[in-house]
Structure 1
C-alpha cells in the first residue's frame, strides 16, 4: 500500500460516555438494547436522556436545535430518498437483531443480502456469540437463523437463511478509489434504511493486519454491517467502526469500512441449504 495513503494524523474515538480510549481502536457501531429492565449501566442513562429530549423537542418549538443536533444523520437521508442507488439497493439492506444464551440484552446492527436464498453479510461483533439471529427486510419480512459463519481475519460474518427470491446486492470486483463517492445504507438508532454519502479518504492496515478504508461521513450506532456502494450500486465495502481524525487542528468524522474483496472468494452456496 502506498505510504501516501496512510493517515498521518491522530485518530480520536467518538465516545458518548466521555471515557479515555486508545487511539488505535475505534467505536463499533452496533446498538445495545436493554431486555432485563435494569438501568444502572450508562447506556441506559443515555437512552433515557434521548427519550426525554425527543419528548421535549416534540412538545416545545423552541428546542429544534437539540433535535437536529442529535439526529443530523437524517438530513442527508432526506436529500437522498429519491436517489436511484438508494431506491434500488435499500430492499437488500436488513436489520440484524441477535439474542445470546443467558443474556437479556440484545444487539442490533445492519446487514445486507448477496443471494436470493439468503446470504446475509454483517460484522462479526454484531452476531458473535448469538444463539439466534433475526433478519428483517425493508418489507418487514422476518427470517430467523442459527447458521452463522465467521470470516477468519476480518470483522465479518455470514448469516445463512432458507429463503427464496430475496432482494440482493451485486459485489464489485474492484476496490474503491480514493476520492470516489460512495453511498452507505444502514439502520442507525432504530431508524431503517437511512442513507448517507461521502468520499473515500484513505487506506491502511489495522494492528491485526486487516485492510480498511475510511469515508468522510458521520455514521451513528446501529450502522455496523452497512453496505458501502459505488456509483453503480455495487458493494465495495462493509462499515464496521467510526472515529474522528484531526487534520490541521480540525476534527473530521470518518466511517471505517472493510473492502468487499474480502467476500470474493466465498462460496455463495452454503452446503446443505
Structure 2
C-alpha cells in the first residue's frame, strides 16, 4: 500500500509512520507534506496514492482547501485535535476521522475500515452514522503535556506547569512557572487549537498566556492594557487593542 502523510507537525508525522510500520512494514510512505500548497503541487505531479492521512490544520490553512484546487478521488483518513470538522470531513473522500493524539488501535481500525470499504466498493451508511454519533459525544481533547528537547535529551513538560508561550524570530517558546524556557514545535496559531481556551488566551500576535500567570493588570489611556506576568518578561507585555474587549470577557468567564 502506498500512502502519503499531510501533516505540519514533524513529530506527529514520525509517530504516524512508526505506527504504520508496526501495523504493516510493507506500507510505503511516499511523502510527508506540511502545507496545502505543497500538497496541491504533489497531487498535480504524482500518481494518486492508495490512501492519504491528512491533518486538518496545516501551516498555511485548512486541508479542505486542497480539494478545491485539485480533483481528488483518493480515500482520506483525517487526523486532528478537534472534532468540529466531522461533517465537513465526510463531505469529501473521508474513510475515517481520528482524534489526536493518535491511538494505535484506532488507527488499525481505520485502516481495516478502508480495506473493507474499498474491497467491497461500497460505504456503510450505518457505520458512518455511528461514527458521527460517537464523535459528537467526545469532549475536546486538549493537550496535557509537551515534548521538548534539551541538547540530546528529551523531556516532557506538563501543561499545568506552563505559564505562557511566546514567539520570537519564528520560534515558539514555552515558559514554565519556575522560569524554564524551551522551544516547542508548534506555532501560536496551532497552540490556540490545542490548549483549553478557558485557561490560555492569545493576547497578541506574539504571546499566549495562562490566566494564573497574570499578576497585575494595568489600564492605560485609549483602552490599552498592560500585564505583569509571572515569571516576568524582559519587555512590557500589552494586550492587542483589537483583543481588549474579548480579553476582558475572557477574564470574567
* TM-score when normalising by structure 1: 0.22
* TM-score when normalising by structure 2: 0.23
- Specify which structure has the bigger relative contact order, considering alpha-carbon pairs within 8 angstroms and separated by 6 or more residues: 1
